[in-house]
Amino acid sequence: MKNDAVFSGSVPALYERYMVPMLFEPYARDLVERLRPRAPRRVLELAAGTGAVTRAMAAGLPDSVSIVATDLNPGMLEQAKTLGASRPVEWQPADAMALPFADASFDAVVCQFGCMFFPDKPKAFAEVRRVLAPGGFFLFNLWDRIEDNDFANVITASLAQVFPNDPPRFMARTPHGYHDENGIAKDLAAGGFTASPAISVVEKRSRAATAGDVALGYCQGTPMRGEIEARDASRLEEATRVATAAIAARFGNGPVDGRMQAVIVDVTR
């Protein structure tokens, strides 16, 4: 849906405060650990969001490595720029479907939990291949099935209580909607990648201080907020309370700890 990739208003700040430490920082470290031994000199990040991977790369890669961090959403990129990084990074708005970079400009392209949002994945992958130098690589991760991600699954189910006739399905539809390994490989091939991708599944733990932090992050710090408000904006706080109660019933009031699982994809140009 067209609003699934819209992160605006107060969403970027809430996303950074609640979602990044709960979900994104552990996998950002995982990506940098995979990136470091490959010793790229020029790295492009797509869908950088509020900069979780950007900051991890700035801290974990040699200072000689140039980092260009991009995002389609101005609000997310501004939040990332405000937070900054431990060393200079080039921040640039960019659409993955039409990257504003010359051919063969980068040794590596990295994307954390962003490819699910690309409206035409083969086209975006073709752009990635175009800007990669020969022998360069594309490293990205994707959320696995929603059933393998506890917090997202519980909250999605809970919102069906608030809107039984039209439950918000953003999480299942988009963040957790692109994980089939055969489909990913076909889209990469359609984008021009001839090498077979290395695909692995990595389970980690998702942690938050309270059940309320989990619910606030998901319900108000992601595009699911727009789904809730489109149904009835006056019920946003109610939806957040119901989600809080569902997380607390399953995991306690806090600190809370749930399973999360992602698919890691690595393909060489």
Q: Are 69 and 92 in contact (CB under 8 A)?
A: yes
The pLDDT score that the predictor gives to residue 3 is 55
Residue 247 lies in a domain: yes
Confirm whether 5 is domain-assigned.
Answer: no
Residue 225 in domain: yes
Taking the CA atoms of residue 224, residue 226, residue 229 and residue 235 in that order, the dihedral angle to the nearest 10 degrees is 30
Q: Is residue 6 in a domain?
A: no
pLDDT by residue (tens digit) across 82-118?
Answer: 999 999 999 999 999 999 999 999 999 999 999 999 9
The pair of three-digit structure tokens given for residue 205, joined into one six-digit string: 């733990």
pLDDT in tens, 131-177: 999 999 999 999 999 999 999 999 999 999 999 999 999 999 999 99
Predicted TM-score of the model (pTM): 0.94
CATH of the domain at 117: 3.40.50.150
Q: Is residue 51 part of a domain?
A: yes
- Between the alpha carbon of residue 188 and those of residues 95, 102, 120, 154, 177, the distances in Å are 18, 20, 11, 32, 17
Cβ–Cβ under 8 Å, residues 143 and 179: yes
**How many domains, the chain?**
1
221-266: per-residue pLDDT in tens? 999 999 999 999 999 999 999 999 999 999 998 899 999 999 999 9
With respect to residue 23, please indicate whether it lies within any of the assigned structural domains: yes
Residue 3 resides in a domain: no
Q: Which domain holds residue 64?
A: 11-268
Secondary-structure percent of the chain, ordered helix, strand, coil, rounded to 5: 50, 20, 30
| Assigned domain for 2 exists | no
The amino acid at 265: V
pLDDT digits (tens, 9 = 90+) for 180-214: 999 999 999 999 999 999 999 999 999 999 999 99
